[in-house]
Structure 1
Amino acid sequence: MKAAVGGIVHESSTFATQVIGTVTAGDFTVLTGPAMVAEFAGTNTGVGGYLDACAEEGVAVVPALHARAEPGGAVEPAAYRELEERFLAELDTGCELVLLDLDGAGVVAPDLSLEVLLVRAVRAAVRPGTAIAVTMDLHGNIPAELTELADVTVGYHDYPHTDMAARARTAARIAVAAARGRVRPRTRRLRVPMALPPSPTDGGPALELRHLVKSAEQEPGVLACTVFHGFPYADTPQAATTVVTVTDEAVRLGDAVNDQIAAWLWRHRARFLVGTLSPEHAVEQAADGYSLVVADASDDPGGGGSGDGTYLLRAIRNRGIRACFATLYDPAAVARATEAGVGAVADFELGGRHGKTSGEPLRVRAKVRAITDGRVSHADVRRGRYADFGRSVRLSADGLELIVASRRLPVLDPEIFLLHGVLPERFPLVGVKAAHHFKSGFAHLGARLVTADAPGLTSRRIAELPRTGPSAALWPMNRTAVFHRPSATHRPE
């Protein structure tokens, strides 16, 4: 038995499209053949999980194509067409299985589902009866057509996404069992007319929801269950929270599980709207003697943020406490520091290139302490994968150690600090461009971890974003939204 493995991965913010533009083919890192297998083997990623499952099940892997770009605006149609053509050219259509690593929130401009387009093309290319499995981010916006095209749909349970490989293994095992005639997977989907703000599953209602979903997976006949929180930064027809359950033939069981979980989610929806901390209030919690890690959550490059927002950085400077910060996206500043050289002192205008969502540029006189290639290996989320921040520099100014990068990436762990000779645990305050994935990567420091929210493309105050499209009808943007439970499948809780 052979399995084709690959995917096209992008998390697309339609709000980012208006600020930083669309995503081109050149923004994607593309891997094929043995290079793809070598890149993902042993990693905590979707493809890494697929490779593990195939090895365990005795299934030969036939690499197709894997393309991924960092979150940003919607993908240009021409870019998507080029990637789809390349994917289909690499796809072995004689395989019994196709295992796809997707995001779930990909948008081909202006508002088409990237995932539906790709799975539709794959389904048309392969032989009838080929089992197709997809594994996606918990933040996916899942249209009905996607679950109809794929035999198996599985999403992450955890946010931060520490279970990417584990969930891909689950999807692959179900698909292998289906191809061998051991199960007949049936996928049921239930849309809930709401959008959730980013909600980590390490506490609060998101943790309770995670427990509920994992309990459902223990029921006889349930092969997999996922609550896709949705991606609230895409104002598209696909945007919504969805519950997806895969059962062994038992369609009514899938509907009943979805109904029960969706009812809980709707009943508890207000609990997901927790208060936010301003950058000023967040940094006020820092003091000498212990470390505070503050995430610049409203400007998270991992969710489509511009990466050059200065609100948190300015609050840190105004606080006057020793701090380190990574990373500010500013290629012009990197070029200026590189030209000046290590040891030089120069004046810089940092960040603030995208209007209100970025804030005003920060003017500092700083010493260039280090210049690097910005390439690190992730130690936690995406363990084993390399991250390329591009040419990066360390600037020192009045007790602040600032890492400035020429590529827009989230900071998931301390590796980019360490590359520049900065030990975060030695600072009372550590600032990172991230939303929530940083929590697992920095947990070993024993520091307090908080998130700050300012004007930005990834603000947690999702109801305040300028929506003009379909997502405006969802709760909490529309506080009068109504969810009609499928009464025919209702099962008492």
Structure 2
Amino acid sequence: MTRPRAFVAGLVHESSTYMVEVSGPTDLADFDVHSGAELIDEFTGTNTIVGGYLAACGRLGVDPVPGVHARAEPGAAVAPRAAAHLGDQLVAALRTAAPVDVVLLDLHGAGALETGESLDLAVVRAVRAVVGPRVPLAVTVDLHANLPAELVTLVDVLVGFQEYPHTDMAARADLAASLAVGQLTGASRPVVRMRTLPMLLPPSTTWSGPGAWLRDLVREVESEPDVLACTVLHGYPYADTPQARAAVVTVGTPAAAEAANRTVAGALWAHRDRFRIDPVPPERAVATARAAAGRPVVIGDGTDNPGCGAAGDSTYLLTALLDSGLRACLATLHDPATVRACVTAGVGARVEVALGGRHGWASGPPVRATGTVRAITDGRVVQRSMRAGKTLDFGTSVRLSLGDVDVIVASQRRQVLDPEILLLHGVLPDRYDVLAVKSVNHFRAGFATVSDHLLVADAPGPLTREIDSLPRGPATAGLWPMDPDVTFPDLPAVGRPAR
């Protein structure tokens, strides 16, 4: 008997419309692309979506057919020519692989072009046009997806992350693959239903507080009879696009899916005020760290998080650390020019730098100082928490000592998920009062074993957690919390018709 064949591919980007003016659009060179056997080698055994798909194929007796997978670090909205090129590559690989029995796609869900159009919808449309209406198409998306209604009508399975930090990527991909492969026999044809809410949530971890309450509710609903998968999407608040919305997406029987969506959406709307953010300026975060009983304290530089699309070179928190007198390390500051100067000077050299601050108010002023080069590395680490097993490349990187504060300066813009980049540069966490990392929530998983004191600083910038302070156009100005008086009508759910 011929084994089923599953086409595995993806085009992943979280796209901020606010960052286009700051850094220019995300272009083709920003994407890491893997295809064919290289895709298998890159992702096998990793806690990623594609890693989860590949593991599921092995468990389910399905042959994975590797297509094209492209991912760029979250950033400014994507240049249309780059999106078109990558989409064409993915579709060409699908045509070459055809016929296939099932399609497993890794998408973010908040991908957007400079025009505001959904990158994810364009990919799904193109794939559906190739495989036709009957081949099961599964999509896995980020918890921060902004999903157009049409996308949900084109897929047979849609599963999103339930955890933030996203430590459940492989597990959710396994579920999506299992549901798609289960449809090959025709014995089960669940539906996908989505209910959107007129709201966006600021970055809200599921490790504590209202995010944890919401996650637990969704898991409880997912355990109900006839519900196969349930996801609440917080939405991506740094995209001013028509599809930017929080939503609930459920896979199951029509009645069960619609009931699940009503339950979760109603509870989230009723408790929305619990998600409001009390911003913590960098100076207050550092003062809190000073008063803490244990060491080290870990501070996420939340506004300058490359994982939300930020430039990664903000100096506001760094300046507060330099003024504090505390023994601190900040990782990583994206400044290729400073890296080059340090590499030229060599380990042990004293160098004059103008560190960071390359994007005006979004980054703060450069820090002008003389420092000592302590280490030079290739910046390559293997992640140990989120995306465990996957290599992360910060590019050539250096550790620069500015008095009591060490700064790990990188030539690539990357979010710090765990201590590996610190360890690579000889930074031993327990020897510092404060570790500051360019991240807003994902660092919690990687640093939970380092410290019991994890907090977030809110510096000025276009990716502030105070999402209602951002300039908004008609697409999102009428959403909560931007409009605190908006109402939530009981609109019908959208989804692909039952087959």
Q: TM-score, normalised to structure 1's length?
A: 0.97
Partner of 1:16: 19
Q: Structure 1 residues 205, 447: closer, same or farther in 2, change over 3 A?
A: closer
Q: Distance in 2 between matches of 1:469 and 1:25?
A: 29
Select 2:457's aligned residue among 443, 452, 456. Answer: 452
1:35 aligns with 2:43: no
1:221 aligns with 2:241: no
Select 2:55's aligned residue among 52, 55, 59. Answer: 52
Please state how far the C-alpha of 1:368 moved relative to its aligned partner.
Answer: 0.7
Select 1:139's aligned residue among 135, 139, 144. Answer: 144
Q: Distance in 2 between matches of 1:488 and 1:4?
A: 29
Partner of 1:114: 119
Select 1:473's aligned residue among 478, 484, 488. Answer: 478
Partner of 1:265: 268
Partner of 1:70: 73
Q: Distance in 2 between matches of 1:460 and 1:79?
A: 29
Select 2:175's aligned residue among 170, 185, 203. Answer: 170
Q: Structure 1 residues 325, 186: closer, same or farther in 2, change over 3 A?
A: same
2:78–2:114 Cα contact (<8 Å) kept: yes
Taking the TM superposition and a 5 Å limit, the aligned residue runs for 1:125-164 are 125-164=130-169
Q: Distance in 2 between matches of 1:417 and 1:487?
A: 50
Q: Residue 266 of structure 1: SS of its match in structure 2?
A: helix
Amino acid at match of 1:434: S
1:263–1:485 Cα contact (<8 Å) kept: no
Please state how far the C-alpha of 1:203 moved relative to its aligned partner.
Answer: 1.2
1:209 aligns with 2:214: yes
Moved beyond 6 Å, runs of 4+:
none
Deviates more, 1:200-209 or 1:310-319: 200-209
Please state how far the C-alpha of 1:399 moved relative to its aligned partner.
Answer: 1.0
Partner of 2:280: 277
Q: Structure 1 residues 275, 289: closer, same or farther in 2, change over 3 A?
A: closer
Select 2:251's aligned residue among 246, 253, 256. Answer: 246
1:134–1:171 Cα contact (<8 Å) kept: yes
Q: Distance in 1 between matches of 2:452 and 2:401?
A: 23
Q: Distance in 2 between matches of 1:425 and 1:145?
A: 50
Deviation by residue 1:341-381 (Cα, 9 ceiling, x = unmatched): 11110111001111111111111110011111111110100
Q: Structure 1 residues 487, 109: closer, same or farther in 2, change over 3 A?
A: closer
Select 1:335's aligned residue among 328, 340, 343. Answer: 340
Amino acid at match of 2:105: L
Gaps of 5+ in 1: none
Between Structure 1 and Structure 2, how many residues are aligned? 487
Gaps of 5+ in 2: 495-499
Deviation by residue 1:34-58 (Cα, 9 ceiling, x = unmatched): 1101111111100011011111110
1:364 aligns with 2:358: no
Q: Distance in 1 between matches of 2:453 and 2:187?
A: 48
Please state how far the C-alpha of 1:298 moved relative to its aligned partner.
Answer: 0.5
Partner of 1:375: 380
Q: Distance in 1 between matches of 2:493 and 2:322?
A: 59
Q: Structure 1 residues 344, 41: closer, same or farther in 2, change over 3 A?
A: same
2:193–2:493 Cα contact (<8 Å) kept: no
Amino acid at match of 1:107: A
Q: Distance in 1 between matches of 2:98 and 2:30?
A: 27
Q: Residue 445 of structure 1: SS of its match in structure 2?
A: coil
Partner of 1:101: 106
Q: Residue 289 of structure 2: SS of its match in structure 1?
A: coil
Amino acid at match of 1:309: S
1:306 aligns with 2:311: yes
Please state how far the C-alpha of 1:285 moved relative to its aligned partner.
Answer: 2.1
Partner of 1:82: 85
Partner of 2:187: 182
1:156–1:226 Cα contact (<8 Å) kept: yes
Q: Distance in 1 between matches of 2:71 and 2:439?
A: 19
Deviation by residue 1:286-329 (Cα, 9 ceiling, x = unmatched): 34862100010000001001100000000000111111110001
Q: TM-score, normalised to structure 2's length?
A: 0.96
Deviates more, 1:175-184 or 1:3-12: 175-184
Q: Distance in 1 between matches of 2:74 and 2:320?
A: 26
1:304–1:457 Cα contact (<8 Å) kept: no
1:102–1:137 Cα contact (<8 Å) kept: yes
Please state how far the C-alpha of 1:456 moved relative to its aligned partner.
Answer: 1.6
Q: Distance in 2 between matches of 1:487 and 1:27?
A: 39
Partner of 2:497: none
Partner of 2:201: 196
2:195–2:492 Cα contact (<8 Å) kept: no
What's the % identity of the aligned pairs? 52
Q: Residue 22 of structure 1: SS of its match in structure 2?
A: coil
Amino acid at match of 1:254: A
Q: Residue 108 of structure 1: SS of its match in structure 2?
A: coil
Q: Distance in 1 between matches of 2:82 and 2:203?
A: 28
Q: Residue 180 of structure 2: SS of its match in structure 1?
A: helix
Q: Residue 19 of structure 2: SS of its match in structure 1?
A: helix
Q: Distance in 2 between matches of 1:123 and 1:480?
A: 39
Please state how far the C-alpha of 1:253 moved relative to its aligned partner.
Answer: 2.1
Deviation by residue 1:361-409 (Cα, 9 ceiling, x = unmatched): 1111100111111111101001011111111111012111110001100
Q: Structure 1 residues 488, 338: closer, same or farther in 2, change over 3 A?
A: closer
Q: Distance in 1 between matches of 2:398 and 2:477?
A: 41
Q: Distance in 2 between matches of 1:158 and 1:479?
A: 27
Q: Residue 206 of structure 1: SS of its match in structure 2?
A: helix
Q: Distance in 1 between matches of 2:288 and 2:199?
A: 33
2:334–2:413 Cα contact (<8 Å) kept: yes
Q: Distance in 2 between matches of 1:55 and 1:468?
A: 47
Please state how far the C-alpha of 1:93 moved relative to its aligned partner.
Answer: 2.7
Amino acid at match of 1:6: A
Amino acid at match of 1:342: V
Please state how far the C-alpha of 1:183 moved relative to its aligned partner.
Answer: 1.1
1:230 aligns with 2:253: no
Taking the TM superposition and a 5 Å limit, the aligned residue runs for 1:415-426 are 415-426=420-431
